[in-house]
Structure 1
């Protein structure tokens, strides 16, 4: 099953934030909630998981004590209709580690890794939702034909609530914002 495919009947019933918050961690794994509807995501490949961990670790180390880099948990973009996204990598305020749900104001940067073949459509909706929620930085990672990922970095324009391109990287990501960080993509 690919991301966004229609699953069992329970995935076609709108749920509220209160209903979702009553679910177990196991029930919430591998799904996102978009406009109150459950969207099932396929399991990630080992390569994708490794890349997410490399990015999260690099961001975590570069960010200092105020921010944590982590992978694969919900960010509550909106309560009604409920919209929870599960970015591949999240850089969030360290002081909010025990707050649930994680809200956009807790998040500095999200990274989404795009599945091959979905480059033209899948990332746009998520990027728009992250921008509308006010998350300052967004990175999109695509798999190149060479096997080395391509990272597109974007920064939020608060006036338009839209992301603008900030850089494209292959081999090595080397940015100064939101803070200086270097990530060697060949390590994947």
Structure 2
């Protein structure tokens, strides 16, 4: 497949003639690659998230990072948290996702190590209008098949994060098992969880 000019991806992103290779993806300008995901070699256009979506992602990343650093102080191996970054699921066929939030083992920056599924401990997807099937079904299967231990599906209300559906990988079946659904309205104090790192979900931290 011959590399296509930049404006092709802006004007004809839904008319891709052939599967994209990893080499072709990596040759794209960053301002183009950050607008797309690639599934089985085919480009999927990513709409710009709303302000509320972005804020919720930042709040979740801050919460995860704070608890990840605490876990590291207690002896856990190096962990990093990031938002909207390339996650390589597979090279052939190319599958590249951009999770809303991801917790992963630290990469070798000196050697420019690529973020791959085997580095990820937790992927978080925030459900937006039109993304229910993609986040709750398609990615649920993709991330499980890739062996990512934990997956959260997050939903919002008018004030911020309202529910967190938590899934954990069953490595025997390579499928996610639903652990629980944390709900802001539930009585009692902030929920405490132990995986992928110990943390307390303070709903106030997740408000807009």
| Fold match by TM threshold 0.5 | yes
Alignment CA distance shift 1:143-1:34 (3 Å): same
Alignment CA distance shift 1:118-1:105 (3 Å): closer
The total of aligned residue pairs comes to: 181
Match of 2:38 in 1: 33
* 2:142 aligned with 1:129: yes
Q: Please, what TM-score do these two structures have when normalized by structure 1?
A: 0.87
Alignment CA distance shift 1:23-1:178 (3 Å): same
Deviation at 1:47, TM superposition (A): 1.0
Match of 1:53 among 47, 52, 58: 58
Alignment CA distance shift 1:54-1:173 (3 Å): farther
Alignment of 1:40-79 (within 5 A): 40-64=45-69, 65=72, 66-79=78-91
Match of 1:152 in 2: 165
8 A contact 1:59–1:91 mirrored in 2: yes
Deviation at 1:97, TM superposition (A): 4.9
Q: C-alpha separation between the residues in 1 aligned to 2:107 and 2:201?
A: 25
Alignment of 1:11-22 (within 5 A): 11=14, 12-13=16-17, 14-22=19-27
Alignment CA distance shift 1:27-1:146 (3 Å): closer
Q: C-alpha separation between the residues in 2 aligned to 1:68 and 1:30?
A: 23
Match of 2:106 among 91, 94, 103: 94
For 1:43, what is the secondary structure of its paired residue? coil
Which 4+ runs in 1 deviate beyond 6 A?
Answer: none
Match of 1:104 in 2: 117
8 A contact 2:53–2:128 mirrored in 1: no
Match of 2:175 among 142, 145, 162: 162
Q: C-alpha separation between the residues in 2 aligned to 1:83 and 1:94?
A: 21
Deviation at 1:179, TM superposition (A): 1.5
* 1:92-127 deviation digits (Å, cap 9, x = unpaired): 1123456443111111100001113543x2221111
8 A contact 2:122–2:151 mirrored in 1: yes
For 1:134, what is the secondary structure of its paired residue? coil
Q: Structure 1 regions of 5+ residues with no counterpart?
A: 1-6
Match of 1:185 in 2: 203
Q: C-alpha separation between the residues in 1 aligned to 2:166 and 2:100?
A: 15
Please provide the CA RMSD for this pair: 2.0
